[in-house]
Amino acid sequence: MRKKVVGFVLACTVAMSALAGCGTYTNGDPVADATQTEGNQQNENGSSGNTEQATGTKELTIGVSTDATSLDTSVINDNNSGEVLYHTSEGLLRNVGGKIVPGIAESYDISEDNLTYTFHLRDSKWEDGEPITAEQFVYSFQRLLDPNTGATEYDKFLSIVNAQEIVDGEITDLDQLGVKAEDDHTLVITLKQISPTFLSSLAASNNLYPLREEFVEQCGTAYGTTGDNYLSCGPYKLEAWNQGTEIIYVKNDQYYDADAIKMDKITRVVIEDANTRASMFDNGEIDVNMSVPASLKDNYDSDTLFNDPAGTTTTLQINMDGMTEESGKVLSNVNFIKALSYAIDREGLNMALANGTYDVATRLIDPATPGSTDETTYWEEYPDVSGAPTTADPEKANEYLNKALEELGMTKEELPRMTYLCMETGQLKLYAEAIVDSWKTVLGLDCFDIVQYPVPTTIQNMLDGQYDIYWQQNGDDMNDPYMYMSYWTKTGSINVTGWMDDTYTDLINQTELTMDRGERLELFAEAEQYILDNGPQIPLFFFTTLITVNPEFTGIDYGANAEYLYADYAE
């Protein structure tokens, strides 16, 4: 079976500013409904120095910490690339401000047995005026699931007829996939089993925008690697991609709802240094800073600074196979993992390095996850799930360590060297040093080496299993525990932990067999406690994100991706 990895792996590139998750800041009214009128909402604010009043051109400049890595719809797996595609492409549905709204599919029907979804496409065009057709969606689905593509973000769509068999290479005829074009405006998707998260996965996905087969084939391996090898079909079109520096969008006049798009030009500027980015915002050189250092949060008032839940769980991911046979033996010991977890002072780290900005995580599913009714949250319904302390518990930590050493037949001095892998970005090294120091201070362990690489190298090492411990972030853009919890099943898209547990996998699979949310949440609670007791994740924080926005702009959201589709400027 093809191993999958991804979704959030590149979310770690913004570890201190979390460009992942479902928390939403809206400088303006929330999305009103799902009737494709959401883009017409406006608020009343002032005027921007970056808006060229004389020419009537509206411009927005956004400062970010990290560039996109690819614009290949099928294979992208990082939030920065997803953010660009979100604004320059459009799928069947959209996730706008955390709500599912129509996209190129103006409407859809669901059969009584919840297995057949028929999408009715509106008249819509590519940036060059060519029509968007149902067959182009068929090709996109096929390319995502084709093992020859090398995609990784396909696991949320394995409920489609023959999807798993295609992924596994058992079926090579892609036309057998349960995605068919009845005509240019009608797309039919048939599932082999019900999937309560199918529509939300579809709306949240940045991997299933339509694709023109002839263009993709003509570009070959260069597809999505430069601006010239990419075609836009969304509210904005890509004007330039100066890699590592900036991405420029301009309004797409071919977009079916172009009247709802108010910005003429948006520039996404890459400014790696957080203090430089903050200074540029203060000086009016950028209108939005999507990543504000926690140390600067007191510099801004409530009209400018927004601190929202990012829907992002930060963990230490344990490679239970280890980089070596020796480290794998140690890291597959559950009591050793618990010893590491109980030695960490999460609250102390939060105060010292994040100015108290984040929420300490003692479990894995985000606290904002809705419950079985509109009046409750998942946490309120299942408050007893727990797997980690808020502050260090030295007594408990050493108790777990002693049990582990006894089971392993080792002394502390005989433990192998182990690699803590993290990226050369933000404050990750400071967190790593503090965590490794706690293991030395509380447990007397001096066997961990911190290794940092540039972002692409770090991710590749993680995917190749070249790590023992890895700082990981994962965002939930569906407001459903399945998004996070499914990653750790035996076929999970980023499960490169060596943990292949039948009990856990079965619990998560059962959540997809019922449409009853109460039943599903009960299964998730059982699964969450099970992975905390037995699995490869040490919870650390639920990240919140600090962004500053020029209050003269409206319609800028922070959600699963940064959202500024409907940004506007009140004249």
**Neighbour-count burial for 459-472, b at 16+ CB within 10 Å, e otherwise:** bebbbebbbbbbbb
d(CA 395, CA 400) in angstroms, rounded, equals 9
Residue 510 has pLDDT above 90, yes or no: yes
Residues 6+ positions from 399 with CB-CB distance below 8 Å:
none
In angstroms, rounded to a whole number, what is the distance separating the alpha carbons of residues 342 and 134? 53
Spatial CB neighbours of 188, under 8 Å, sequence gap ≥ 6: 116, 117, 118, 119, 179, 180, 181, 182
pLDDT of amino acid 571: 59
* Residues 26, 567: Cα–Cα separation, whole Å: 10
SS3 call for 381: helix
Q: How confident is the model at residue 18 (pLDDT cuts 50, 70, 90)?
A: very low
- pLDDT digit string, tens, across residues 362-386: 999 988 888 999 889 999 999 999 9
What pLDDT shows up at residue 4?
33
pLDDT at 271 over 60: yes
Q: Would you say residue 5 has pLDDT above 50? A: no
pLDDT tens profile 188-245: 999 999 999 999 999 989 999 999 999 999 999 999 999 999 999 999 999 999 999 9
What pLDDT does residue 394 have? 98
Instruction: List the Cα angle 77/323/348 in 5-degree steps.
Output: 75
Instruction: Kindly list the distances between the CA atom of residue 305 and the CA atoms of 297, 336, 349, in Å, as whole numbers in the listed order.
Output: 7, 41, 23
Q: What is the pLDDT of residues 392-437, one digit of tens each?
A: 999 999 999 999 999 999 999 999 999 999 988 778 899 999 999 9
- In the chain, where are the structural domains located? 309-500+534-545
* Block residue for tokens 């039943």: 519
Read off the pLDDT band of 465 (50, 70, 90): very high
Looking at per-residue confidence, does 151 or 398 come out higher?
398
Contact 62, 290 (CB under 8 A): yes
Q: Which of 406, 407, 386 is nearest to 342 (CA)?
A: 386
3-state helix, strand, coil in the chain (%, to 5): 35, 20, 45
Per DSSP, the three-state class of 448 is strand
Q: What is the mean predicted confidence (pLDDT) over 493-510?
A: 94
Whole-structure pTM over 0.85, yes or no?
A: no
Tell me: the pLDDT tens digits for 295-344? 888 899 989 998 766 668 899 999 999 999 999 999 999 999 999 999 99
Topology (CATH level 3) of domain 309-500+534-545: Dipeptide-binding Protein; domain 3 (3.10.105)
The least confident of 6-15, 81-90, 182-191, 505-514 is 6-15
